[in-house]
Amino acid sequence: MTLAGTFAFQHRFDPAGGSRLTISGGQRPEVARLLAGRSLSEASRLIPLLFNLCRRAQGVACARGAEQSQGLTVDSATAHRRQWLLQLEWLQEHLWLLWVRLPQWLQLSPRAVAMSRASQLLQRCMQALEQGEAGEQSRLWDWAGTVYSEDFAHSMAGATALQPLLEAVADLDWRSAYRPLPLPKTDTAWWRDCNEFRAGLPPAPQGPAHGNETGALVRQQHGVSVAESLRSGWCLIPRLLAVVEEVRTLLSALAQGRIAEQLVAAEPGNPSPSRLVLGQAETARGRLVHGMVLGEESQQVQQYRVIAPTDWNFQPQGALPAMAADLPAADCGLTRQRLGALVVLMNPCVGWELVCDA
């Protein structure tokens, strides 16, 4: 994100209380301040310019909110184009995690050249879609087929290019009683609750070893390999497997020149004009929500709030502290490697720093 804060994660082993991780910082409300008082059409133009990550998804979520405010339903061609944009951006984010960010943290060689080529091609294709052009579709299909067959056609055990990543993650993994829960229904009643908790999300019902999450792990938790590793209590491997499975799905569909239908989130239902509207989009990191309150007599923005997947996944009492609580005692170096790998796999959309005290 362009308008974002930085997370500070601090971990320590307490002889009396065990392993503890605290989270501070995160996103800042600049978006709300920048858009308040502007027309909705102006806000729709500005939103994609305010974000570095998931820029297309931000634009789609805002556009859906604007359409809902006027009771509009887009035509099938527009809806289809948006799904293409979302999935190409989704693929780019996942590849960056697998090819660059995670290898860097694990001190493996990143696939920088392959990522650069992929990013350039995906960006050109997304720009062509935004301009209503065909662009380099045939080249995109060919590239997806090649990457799929070379790296993702087999299970992780047989995917030689990904094997070092799997082994390095497995060496750092640990077991936890934590289990992910899907998000609650994000409707207008939920958004009103969120607005009462401006410093964060409203407390959600959860057990002592559960927390609400969004993203690849929740979407893929019923798949065979992910479900098996979750049942075994592993913290890292299920997250890696979930991302790999989504990349396999996206590449396989692209190689056939189609959208990965199993990853398509339902479009908003028949909208009705309202002052309180929500625009939503599914992204690589999870569900993105734009909530806005408009003026009674105009399309002027009175309140605007973006709730990103990171807001869910890095709550101070959420998934990360729950899994950190089950960390086995170790020296600071190993503990930092383990926790950092988990943060990377959870993929926050803001910068972060991790400090481990003795």
Compute the distance between CA of residue 167 and CA of residue 191 in angstroms, rounded to an integer: 42
Residue range 219-232, pLDDT digits in tens: 999 999 999 999 99
Residue range 161-179, pLDDT digits in tens: 789 999 999 999 999 999 9
Residue 272 has pLDDT above 70, yes or no: no
Residue range 133-154, pLDDT digits in tens: 877 899 999 999 999 998 888 7
Residue 320 has pLDDT above 50, yes or no: yes
Assigned domain for 240 exists: yes
Q: How many domains does the chain have?
A: 1
Compute the distance between CA of residue 110 and CA of residue 96 in angstroms, rounded to an integer: 10
The sign one gets for the Cα dihedral 340, 343, 345, 347 is negative
Assigned domain for 304 exists: yes
Among the ranges given (57-71, 246-260, 264-278, 329-343), the one the predictor scored with the smallest mean pLDDT: 264-278
Burial class (CB within 10 angstroms; exposed 0-12, middle 13-18, buried 19+) of 100: middle
| pLDDT value at residue 209 | 57
Assigned domain for 1 exists: no
Could you tell me the maximum CA-CA distance found in the chain, to the nearest angstrom?
A: 63
| pLDDT value at residue 27 | 64
Assigned domain for 69 exists: yes
The residues, any chain, with a CB within 8 Å of residue 78's CB and separated by 6 or more, are: none
The residue among 86, 71, 65, 56 whose CA lies nearest residue 304 is 65
Residue range 194-241, pLDDT digits in tens: 665 454 555 554 444 567 899 999 999 999 999 999 999 999 999 999
**36 or 298: which carries more pLDDT confidence?**
36
Coil vs helix vs strand at 265? coil
C-alpha neighbours within 13 Å on the C-beta side of residue 207 = 8
Compute the distance between CA of residue 300 and CA of residue 69 in angstroms, rounded to an integer: 11
**CB 223 within 8 Å of CB 163:** no
Assigned domain for 228 exists: yes
- Give pairs for 74-80: CB < 8 Å, separation 24+: 79/267, 80/259
Coil vs helix vs strand at 206? coil
- Going from the C-alpha of 320 to that of each of 310, 313, 342, the distances in angstroms are 11, 8, 8
Range of the domain at 140: 6-357
CATH number at residue 132: 1.10.645.10
Residue range 25-42, pLDDT digits in tens: 876 667 778 888 898 889
- Going from the C-alpha of 10 to that of each of 19, 309, 316, 329, the distances in angstroms are 11, 21, 11, 15
Coil vs helix vs strand at 130? helix
What is the average per-residue pLDDT within 39-54? Answer: 88
Characterise 257 by phi-psi region: left (phi > 0), alpha (psi -120 to 50), beta (else).
left
Chain-centroid distance of CA 318 in Å reads 16
Quote the radius of gyration of the chain (alpha carbons, Å): 21
